Amino acid sequence: MPEVETIKNELSPHVVGRQFSGVSLCDAKLVRQPSAEELCHRLVGQKINALERRGKYLMFRLSHGGVLVLHLRMSGTLLLDPPQPDPYTRVVFHLDNGSQLVFSDRRRLGTIWLLDSEQAIIGKLGPEPLAPEFTPQTLAGRLHRYQAPIKAVLLDQTVIAGIGNMYADEALFSAGIHPLTKAASLSPEEVQRLYRAIHNVLQSAIADKGASTDTYKRPNGQLGSAHFNFRVAHRGGKPCPVCGTAIRRLAIRNRGSYFCPQCQGLQANVVYNYE
C-alpha cells in the first residue's frame, strides 16, 4: 500500500484535470474488462476528475462517470514522462498536455479495468488500516474470527486492505508477535501492540515513498527508501537489530516470512502445519 499511495500522491498534481488523448497498448494481456480495443476507444477524451487509492488499487475517476482501475501487483509501476524508453512498457496513456503515463510491468502481473463502478473489484476489501474509523477494537473484531496464522490473516485483503508481505513482517516484529501465532489467540494487549505497529510501519513507509526492493519506482523514476529501515523483511540470516539473533525465513501459505525467533517468541497456541 505505501507504494501505491506514493504513486497516487505524486501523480495527482500532474494528471487530475487532464484528458486522455490516446492509449498505446503494448500488451493486451493486462486488460481484463472491457476488450482492449474498447478500453482504448472509450478512454480518449475522458477527463481525469480524481485519482484515488483503495487497498492496493489505483482508481482514475473519469468525467463520463466511469472509473479506470489499475492493480500494479508485485512488479508494476507508473512512470510519468520517463526520459528513456522503458523495456517493460505494457501500456502508454497519452494525456492532452503531451505527457505520457507509462505502465511498466516486468512480470506482466498487473491488471486494468474500465468500469462503470469499481465495486465489483474492491467491494470485498476490508477496512483501510490508516482510516480514522479503523481502531484497535476494529482490528480485534476482525482477527478473532480466524484460527489461521496471523501473518496469513494480515495478508488477506478481505480482512484488512493494503497490508503487503514486507509490511506484515515489519509490523509483527515491531509488535513482538510470531508470524505463526493464531490470529484469534492474540490477547488485547497484543492486539494493541499490533495496531500501533501497523500504523507506525505504514506511515513511516509512506513518508519514505515506499520500498524499492524489486521493480518499484516512483512516477519520476526515483526509488523509494522505506526498505532501508526494514528490520526483518528480506534480511534472512542477518542479525536482529534488537538482540543480534539471526533473522529466519519460513513459508506461510506460500509467502516468505521473516522474523526474529528471539524477539518474536512462539507461543503455545500456534498453527504448526504452515507450508
Residue by residue, pLDDT tens for the chain (275 residues) are 899 999 999 999 999 999 999 999 988 889 999 999 999 999 999 999 999 999 999 999 999 889 999 999 888 899 999 998 888 999 999 999 999 999 999 888 999 999 999 998 999 999 999 999 999 999 999 999 999 999 999 999 999 999 999 999 999 999 999 999 999 999 999 999 999 999 999 999 999 998 887 778 999 999 999 999 999 999 999 999 999 999 999 999 888 999 999 999 875 444 333 33
Which H helix or E strand runs over 86? Answer: none
Whole-angstrom CA distances from 36 to 12, 18, 30, 51, 245 are 25, 22, 9, 22, 51
Whole-angstrom CA distances from 221 to 113, 216, 230, 250 are 24, 9, 22, 33
Which H helix or E strand runs over 259? Answer: strand 255-259
Please indicate whether the domains covering 2-122 and 136-259 agree at the CATH topology level. no
The CATH-assigned architecture of domain 136-259 is: Orthogonal Bundle (1.10)
**φ/ψ of residue 93, rounded to 5:** -95, 120
Whether the model pTM is above 0.75: yes
- The CATH number that domain 2-122 falls under is 3.20.190.10
Q: Would you kindly state where each structural domain of the chain is located, as residue ranges?
A: 2-122, 136-259
Report d(CA 141, CA 130) in Å as an integer: 16
The answer to whether 160 and 131 have CB atoms below 8 angstroms apart is no
